[in-house]
Chain A
Amino acid sequence: MRRTDILNEPVKHIRVKDRLTVDELVQQYANSGSFGAGRLSAACDIYERMLRDGECTVLLGLAGALVPAGIRSLVADSLREDRIDVLVTTGANMVHDAIEALGGHHYKGHWAADDFVLYKYHTYRIYDVFVPEEDFIKLDLKLTEMYDQIADEYRGRSLSSREFAWELGKRLNDPDSILRAAYEAQTPVFMPAVRDSEFGYIYNLHASRRNFKDALVLDAFKDVPEIIRICRESERNGMIILGGGVPRNTIQSAALATKSGIDYAVVVTMDRAETGGLSGSTLEETVSWGKLKGASDKVMVPADAMIAFPLMVASVVERLGKNFKRTPRRITESFRETVKK
């Protein structure tokens, strides 16, 4: 290596003249190539390559309270417009999706609110988002009815979290709902930690009223062969991780089980690697497990996903243009066979 190999690309300074489109701004970030701006532009490049790769399955991992914060319609549209093939999410995000599907709302609040005052007004806080308790209660009541219906239909046969999400999506009529959009787009939604959310407590209401007889049965292991099969039968796999947690591990472990690893990876997180937690673990660490190919196209973006992901989608949609038509993985026979009802 020579010195000129190291010093071969000068930083270009960001210019904002007149009006910029989102992708024009992201291109300015690419010209800088530095810090978070450089990483965000790299993330857009990788997401674009995933979507242009006709043999790549795109898996989105969703953790953290992104749906209450306002990412719901963006994810639902991305499912409908074939920019996501598989969604792996916390149960909580789909709980908040269902709250809005049933007429509830999330409200702009403040992170410095007096929480004991909120408590006295039956109002829950998620950083600077407020949720009225009654919206959870109305969800509990409606979903208890849905659980009753599903349990009566399945008659003791267990559901995977993917089948459970499908059944909920079938019963929610809100076109802006992620679960509804996934149901209509035939996109699988896995909720590996489903019981660690209001869905778990609704189960308790539903099952208690039946004395735990003929109650809904969810099988946590049933998802495992399904998601492994999706990854195995895909020529290439790409993951976009917002946050990390159980969804990130679920996707990475499925890729590990295929023995081939992930080909494209974008992780947007504010977490740090030093604690040993998965959400902040570097993609190099992921390579050591064989979950990510050594030669993969990858970047970790240290950013608030609420800022980064909408920019990524807007930039990539602009690049692809209106006439771009992606072939979604769901139309392939093996994919349909895997996720068939």
Chain B
Amino acid sequence: MKKTRVADSEKFCGNCTSHNAYEYPVQVFCTRRFLKNKNAIVQTLWHCEDWIQNAQDCHCVKDSKEQQK
């Protein structure tokens, strides 16, 4: 099944393939950054140049946006 391409404005750490939950839903852990010895605990609604679309959607982005309201 082909994934729909995500618009740049909807690219977030919380829908990137490298994320895991850290402080749900506001912060995630980024494996890629951890392995590069960078700060690996980042905001769910942030993203960096290494963003790769996650294969399966989770509720991180939706719940983090709701919490920000």
Counting CB contacts under 8 A, is A120 at the interface?
Answer: yes
CB pair A133 B34 closer than 8 Å: no
Partner of B21, one of A134, A141, A205, A209: A134
Answer yes or no: B50 CB below 8 A from chain A CBs: no
A132:B24 contact, CB within 8 angstroms = yes
**Is the CB–CB distance between B20 and A133 below 8 Å?**
yes
**Do most interface residues of chain B lie in helix, strand or loop, or is the interface mixed?**
mixed
Do B57 and A137 touch (CB < 8 A)? Answer: no
For B34, list chain A residues within 8 Å (CB): 205, 209
Q: Which of A112-167 contact B (CB under 8 A)?
A: 119-122, 132-134, 136-138, 140-141
Cα-based distance from A208 to B20 in the complex (angstroms): 18
Q: How far is the CA of A140 from the CA of B20 in the complex (A)?
A: 11
Q: Which residues of A contact B37 (CB under 8 A)?
A: 209
The residue on A at minimum CB distance from B35 is: A208
Q: Is the CB of A121 within 8 A of B22?
A: no
Q: Which chain A residue has the least Cβ–Cβ distance from B57?
A: A120
Report chain A residues within 8 Å CB of B40.
Answer: 141
Chain B, interface residues (CB within 8 Å), range = 10 to 19
Chain A residues touching B, range: 10 to 19
Judge whether B56 is part of the interface by a CB distance below 8 angstroms.
yes
Q: How far is the CB of B40 from chain A (nearest CB, A)?
A: 8
B44 to chain A, nearest CB (A): 11
Contacts A132-B24, A134-B24, A137-B20 known; A120 to B58 CB distance under 8 Å? yes
Q: Which residues of A contact B10 (CB under 8 A)?
A: none
Find chain A residues with CB under 8 A from B31 CB. Answer: 205
Contact B35 A122 (CB under 8 A): no
Partner of A119, one of B22, B23, B24, B58: B58
A122: which B residues are within 8 A, CB to CB?
A: 20-21, 24, 58, 60
Q: How far is the CA of A208 from the CA of B32 in the complex (A)?
A: 11
- B-side contacts of A136, CB under 8 Å: 20
Contact of B29 among A121, A137, A208 (CB under 8 A): A137
Q: Which residue of B lies closest to A138 (CB)?
A: B22
* Neighbouring B residues of A140 by C-beta, 8 Å: 29
Q: Which chain B residues have a beta carbon within 8 Å of chain A's beta carbons? A: 20-24, 29, 31, 34-35, 37, 40, 56-60
A-B contact pairs, 8 of them (CB 8 A): A119-B58, A120-B58, A122-B21, A122-B60, A133-B21, A137-B29, A205-B34, A208-B35
